[in-house]
Structure 1
Amino acid sequence: MSGAGSPDPDEGGTYTLLVEVAAPAGIEVGALGERRFDAGAYAYTGSALGAGGFSRVDRHRRIARGDHDVRHWHVDHLLGHPAARIDRVVRSVGADVECAVADRLPAGPVDGFGASDCDCPSHLAGAEGDSLDAFAARIREAHVAAVGVLGGSDAPDGDVTGEGDAAESGARVDVVAGE
């Protein structure tokens, strides 16, 4: 348990959803209007800071499964489409690096997607021809670079621990199942 005033690193941080879209789709994305999504892989980066932490990812999973109908954010519209599924989630636990991660990924296919509260062009990236696994590795590398993790582990679950400031703060990067 963390002391008073310091956040529990397991409580939240930054996450990237690796979303696979099985077939081309026209999707109404809130105020952004209808957008076309080609079949392929996309990465949506968001924050899970404050009360509830990574429970926001659980909410995204419920939308992708069709168990929740409320659409608050741009990504809700994408995940609510039947052709979309969450393959896996890369998390920077205990780190507020949302924009730094989004900035390290390829340019987004939809300007302004998920970035209405910052100056980023988009928080949605496209795989640019990478396979799902190659894109997942690229996303993980963006998290590791953003957190500033220097050391690492080849643990099969993808957990990375670091040295220096990131390790001292309790920040880590991990990969968890999507749905």
Structure 2
Amino acid sequence: MDPGTYTLIVELARDRTITVGALGERPFPAGAYAYTGSAFGPGGLARVDRHREIASGERETRHWHVDYLLGDAAATIESVVTAPEADIECAVARSIDAGVQGFGASDCDCESHLAHAGDVSALRRTVDDAHAAHR
């Protein structure tokens, strides 16, 4: 599969406190989340399938911060926006804003790669616009 950048749109049905690896316990209010990542290693955007397996309970091993959120029973992946061949991870994450401090940004200088919003439709439009602006 092609390499590229992706954003997962996740719905969290209820307020949760989730232990996120080395970040420790974090509160996650119910609502919509957008996690932006990149997949330029082996397998490319097949990484999205791995995230889907975590969300569905088919896979247990957590590698990335988002895996801890996706592994919670209250979380579901609503949709995914991809940008094959485009290395725009940080630009998209910064455009979406409203970050959850430190989440998913341990290998760059961004404040966060996870945004939270109350409305999934509005967040999806923001994600679509951010991907379009940086392609």
Partner of 2:107: 117
Q: How does 1:130-169 map to 2 (within 5 A)?
A: 131-147=119-135
Unaligned 5+ segments in structure 2 are: none
> Alignment partner for residue 80 of structure 2, among 89, 93, 104?
89
Structure 1 residue 132: deviation in Å?
Answer: 1.4
Whose RCO is larger (CA < 8 A, sep 6+)? 2
Structure 1 residue 49: deviation in Å?
Answer: 1.1
Q: Determine which structure has the larger strand proportion and give its number.
A: 2
Partner of 1:52: 43
Aligned residues: 135
Structure 1 residue 96: deviation in Å?
Answer: 0.4
Which residue identity is paired with 2:55? A
Which residue identity is paired with 2:116? G
Assess, with a 3 A threshold, how the Cα gap between structure 1 residues 134 and 107 changes in structure 2: closer, same or farther. closer
Unaligned 5+ segments in structure 1 are: 1-9, 148-179
Q: Distance in 2 between matches of 1:53 and 1:16?
A: 14
User: In terms of Rg, which structure is larger?
Assistant: 1
**What percent of counterpart residues are identical?**
60
Partner of 1:108: 99
**Structure 1 vs Structure 2 CA RMSD:** 1.0
Structure 1 residue 48: deviation in Å?
Answer: 1.2
**What is the TM-score normalised by the length of structure 1?**
0.73
Q: Determine which structure has the larger helix proportion and give its number.
A: 2
**What is the TM-score normalised by the length of structure 2?**
0.96
